[in-house]
With several copies, the nearest count.
Chain A
Amino acid sequence: MPEKFGFKLDLKTTGPFLALITLIIIGMLVNDAFLSTGNLSNILARSSFIGIVAIGATFVITAGGIDLSVGAMAAFISGCMIIIMNSLIGTIESSVAIILLAIIASAGIGALAGLINGILTTKAKIEAFIVTLGTMGVYRSLITYMADGGTLSLDFSIGDIYSEVYYGDLLGLPYPAWVFLGVAIIGYVLLNKTVFGRHCLAIGSNEKVALYSAIHVDRVKTMTYMLQGMCVAIATIIYVPRLGSASGQTGILWELEAIAAVIIGGTVLRGGYGRIWGTVVGALILTLIGNILNLTDAISNYLNGAVQGIIVIAAVYLQRGAWRRNKQ
Chain B
Amino acid sequence: QTIGVSIPAATHGWAGGLNFHAEATKQRLEAANPGLRIVLLTANSASEQANDLEDLLAIHHIDALVVLPFESAPLTGPVRNVKRQGVFVTVVDRGLSEAGIEDVYVAGNNAEMGRVSAQYIKQSLSDGGDIVVLRGIPTVIDEQRFDAFMAELEGSNIKVLDNKYANWNRDDGFTVMQDFLARFPKIDAVWAQDDDIAIGVIQAVRQARRQDELFIVGGGGMKEIVKRVMDGDRLTPVDVLYPPSMIATAMELTALKFLFNVPISGRYILGSPLITQENAAEYYFPDSPF
Contacts and interface: CB of A to CB of B under 8 A. Distances in A.
Direct contact of A and B (CB under 8 A): yes
Most chain A beta-carbon contacts within 10 A, residue among B45, B51, B58, B170: B58
Contacts of B163: 301
A294 B62 CA distance: 13
B238 to A, nearest CB: 21
Interface string B175-199: 1101111110000000000001001
A107 to B, nearest CB: 21
Contact of A149 (B20, B59, B74, B81): B20
B139 A291 contact: no
A161 to B, nearest CB: 13
A302 to B, nearest CB: 7
A249 B70 CA distance: 10
Contacts of B164: 294, 301
Given A245-B71, A248-B11, A250-B171, A290 B142 contact: no
Interface stretch (A28-36, A117-125, A264-272): A28-36
Interface stretch (B114-122, B200-208, B249-257, B260-268): B200-208
Nearest to B143: A150
B51 A294 contact: yes
Interface in A279-294: 290-291, 294
B52 interface: yes
Contact of A38 (B52, B162, B182): B182
Contacts of B274: none
B106 to A, nearest CB: 20
A151 interface: yes
Interface string B100-126: 000000000000000000000000000
Interface string A154-178: 0010010001000100000000000
Contacts of A126: none
Interface stretch (B34-42, B151-159, B275-283): B34-42
Interface residues of B, number: 76
A189 interface: no
B60 A38 contact: no
A291 B139 CA distance: 23
B269 interface: no
B55 A247 contact: no
B270 to A, nearest CB: 20
A149 B10 contact: yes
B138 to A, nearest CB: 4
A248 B19 CA distance: 13
B59 A34 contact: yes
A49 interface: yes
A301 B165 contact: yes
Nearest to A41: B58
Contact of B20 (A150, A242, A247): A150
Contacts of B165: 301, 304
A151 B73 contact: yes
B54 interface: yes
Most chain-A CB neighbours within 10 Å: which of B11, B78, B135?
Answer: B11
A300 B151 CA distance: 19
Contacts of A34: 59, 182
A31 B183 contact: yes
Contact of B51 (A149, A291, A302): A291
A143 B5 CA distance: 23
Nearest to A71: B45
B41 A301 contact: yes
Contacts of B219: none
B183 A33 contact: yes
A153 interface: yes
Contacts of A14: none
Nearest to A78: B74
Contacts of B232: none
B140 interface: yes
Contact of A242 (B39, B98, B174, B181): B174
B55 A294 contact: yes
A42 B73 contact: no
B12 A291 contact: no
Contacts of B13: 150-151, 247, 249
A39 B289 contact: no
B98 A156 contact: yes
B9 interface: yes
In order of increasing CB-CB distance, the 4 nearest A-B pairs are A150-B289, A149-B10, A294-B179, A243-B74
Given A147-B16, A151-B139, A301-B9, 15 more contacts: A36-B58, A39-B182, A42-B58, A148-B143, A149-B19, A151-B72, A153-B76, A243-B47, A245-B74, A247-B73, A252-B45, A294-B55, A297-B39, A301-B19, A304-B42
21 contacts: A34-B59, A36-B59, A36-B182, A147-B138, A148-B143, A149-B138, A149-B289, A150-B10, A150-B138, A151-B290, A242-B78, A249-B11, A250-B74, A252-B169, A294-B59, A294-B175, A294-B180, A297-B162, A301-B23, A301-B165, A302-B19
